[in-house]
Amino acid sequence: MTVVIGFEGSANKIGIGIIRDGEVLSNPRRTYITPPGQGFMPSDTAKHHRAVILTVLQEALDEAGLKPADIDCVAYTKGPGMGAPLVTVALVARTVAQLWGKPLLGVNHCIGHIEMGRLITKANNPTVLYVSGGNTQVIAYSERRYRIFGETIDIAVGNCLDRFARVIKISNDPSPGYNIEQMAKKGSQYVELPYTVKGMDVSFSGILSYIEDAAHKMLSSGQCTAEDLCFSLQETVFSMLVEITERAMAHCGSQEVLIVGGVGCNLRLQEMMGVMCEERGAKLFATDERFCIDNGAMIAQAGWEMFRSGHVTELEDSWITQRYRTDEVEVTWRD
């Protein structure tokens, strides 16, 4: 049996997970939370990760009931992500691999999400909607690559939601997106916002600029509530995502959709995607916050697949790549 430990720290989550042949043995995680109205800076995020990473590592081993000798491979997030946090985690993973005398493996963060989603949901060959704070892509597997059919041409959907949360001073605990989702449930008035789909791609920066500008005027004049704006923003951006996912499904002849990434645990997005799938006679696969939000187990799972198919990363090649495309990786573990 192959046991892989995975280190994830590409943004404000630091997670370490252990996978043994498709079984999640442990998956502890910490989140760096900033005050309302503030984002997280790379240097401060890296400082947070440095402060807690060894505690999280000990937790992962204790929870799994394993010793370093039981681990077969050490996987870490190579990218994409924020530079300083990525470097922090890569340094620890490299050190651990050398101390324990284990092979090292750099993993693409996006592929970690996909492989974790496939493991947990048992989706066979889905069209993947990958939505997070830093990424928005529609992906399908073909000929040993995860092909990107459509993506954001500016900011990610999660970044759009997070930055709107800052404008109206929504709490970052547990996450801005979660708090927007709860407020949106109380919204009743739909405020029309720009809807920007360009073929298979989407754009969120114009929507964000528009709602940032309109928010203070509309809220101060009593035209709508903050809850109405949260509701309207979700409905608009999620409709765009459902549209491009459906188009990719039609192109691929796919009957499965898998939603992954932090925004993927939004129940309204799952509901809207579910309606589209039902109308097409297709099936929706989605997970909860344990596996949607960045975590170490997803890096361990992708690492497990890669390690079993012969991949390892030599020490001199174990750098990080902030812009590491999903379609750059040769997927040797799928037929």
pLDDT tens-digit map of 23-74: 999 999 999 999 999 999 999 999 999 999 999 999 999 999 999 999 999 9
User: Are residues 107 and 233 located together in one domain of the fold?
Assistant: no
For the chain, the domain total comes to 2
Going by the annotation, the residues of the binding site for a divalent metal cation are 109, 113, 130, 294
Residue 15 is part of a domain; what is its CATH number? 3.30.420.40
| CA dihedral sign, ordered 49, 146, 263, 126 | negative
Question: In DSSP terms, which residues pair with 128 in a beta bridge?
Answer: 139, 258
Nearest one of 331, 301, 2, 6 to 141, comparing CA atoms: 331
Tokens of 5: 């430990």
Instruction: For Cα atoms 125, 304, 308, give the angle at the middle one, nearest 5 degrees.
Output: 90
Going by the annotation, the residues of the binding site are 109, 113, 130-134, 162, 177, 181, 266, 294
| Confidence category of residue 132, pLDDT binned at 50, 70, 90 | very high
pTM of the model: 0.96
User: Are residues 265 and 132 located together in one domain of the fold?
Assistant: yes
Give the integer Cα–Cα distance in Å for 303 and 77: 10
- The per-residue pLDDT for range 60-118, each reduced to its tens digit, is 999 999 999 999 999 999 999 999 999 999 999 999 999 999 999 999 999 999 999 99
- Find the DSSP H helices in 65-175: 83-100, 109-121, 157-167
User: Are residues 149 and 232 located together in one domain of the fold?
Assistant: yes
Name the residue with tokens 């409709």.
239
Mean pLDDT computed over every residue of the chain: 97
pLDDT of residue 335: 81
Domain that holds residue 276: 123-286
User: Are residues 211 and 312 located together in one domain of the fold?
Assistant: no
| Residue 332 resides in a domain | no
Helix (H), strand (E) at residue 194 = none
| Residue 85 resides in a domain | yes
Residue 330 has pLDDT above 90, yes or no: yes
Q: How far is CA 317 from CA 141, 224, 313, 320, in A?
A: 26, 54, 6, 9
| Residue 322 resides in a domain | no
pLDDT of residue 326: 97
Going by the annotation, the residues of the binding site for substrate are 130-134, 162, 177, 181, 266
| Confidence category of residue 273, pLDDT binned at 50, 70, 90 | very high
| Residue 88 resides in a domain | yes
- Residue 323 is given by DSSP the state S
User: Are residues 129 and 274 located together in one domain of the fold?
Assistant: yes
User: Are residues 279 and 237 located together in one domain of the fold?
Assistant: yes
By the 8 A CB rule, do 32 and 44 touch?
Answer: yes
Give the integer Cα–Cα distance in Å for 28 and 117: 18
User: Are residues 137 and 281 located together in one domain of the fold?
Assistant: yes
- Residue 61 is given by DSSP the state H
Instruction: Count CA within 13 A, CB hemisphere, residue 165.
Output: 28
User: Are residues 60 and 142 located together in one domain of the fold?
Assistant: no
Mean pLDDT of 177-205: 97
Give the integer Cα–Cα distance in Å for 94 and 134: 25
| Residue 323 resides in a domain | no
User: Are residues 89 and 217 located together in one domain of the fold?
Assistant: no
User: Are residues 269 and 189 located together in one domain of the fold?
Assistant: yes
Question: In DSSP terms, which residues pair with 108 in a beta bridge?
Answer: 79
**CA-CA-CA-CA dihedral for 269, 274, 280, 285, to nearest 10:** 100
Percent of the chain with pLDDT over 90: 99
| Residue 10 resides in a domain | yes
Percent of the chain with pLDDT over 70: 100
| Residue 330 resides in a domain | no
Helix (H), strand (E) at residue 42 = helix 42-64
Tokens of 300: 């361990």
Cβ-based neighbour number of residue 145 at 10 Å = 16
User: Are residues 161 and 196 located together in one domain of the fold?
Assistant: yes
- The per-residue pLDDT for range 194-250, each reduced to its tens digit, is 999 999 999 999 999 999 999 999 999 999 999 999 999 999 999 999 999 999 999
Nearest one of 79, 88, 76, 96 to 48, comparing CA atoms: 88
Tokens of 199: 């073929």
Put residue 65 in one of left, alpha, beta given phi > 0 → left and psi -120 to 50 → alpha.
Answer: left
